């Protein structure tokens, strides 16, 4: 099982760059890149909340659970 991060998909839908999201959320480009590429091992709820607010979306739009058996 794994959690897939679809941050790049939501950013594309909202036509928002990583730089713009970084400014709106208050995270460094490096930290957002780690999250965007799915290399993050954890994400704070406050960070997720800020991203959802900036992208006008729900947490489920960004995070997806996939069973490896699928």
Q: What predicted TM-score, i.e. pTM, was given to this entire model?
A: 0.89
Domain count, the chain: 1
CATH code of residue 55: 1.10.260.40
**Dihedral sign for Cα atoms in the order 28, 62, 59, 54:** positive
What pLDDT does 70 receive? 57
Structural domain containing residue 39:
2-66
DSSP result, the chain:
-EEEE-HHHHHHHTT--HHHHHHHHT--HHHHHHHHTT--S---HHHHHHHHHHHT--HHHHEEEE-TT-
* CA proximity to 40, closest of 26, 30, 51: 30
Which of the residues in the chain have pLDDT under 50?
none
């Amino acid at each position: 099982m794994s959690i897939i991060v679809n941050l790049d998909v939501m950013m594309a839908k909202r036509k928002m760059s990583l730089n713009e999201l970084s400014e709106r959320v208050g995270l460094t480009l490096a930290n957002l890149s780690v999250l965007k590429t799915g290399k993050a091992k954890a994400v704070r709820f406050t960070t997720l909340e800020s991203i959802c607010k900036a992208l006008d979306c729900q947490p489920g739009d960004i995070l997806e659970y996939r069973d490896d058996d699928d």
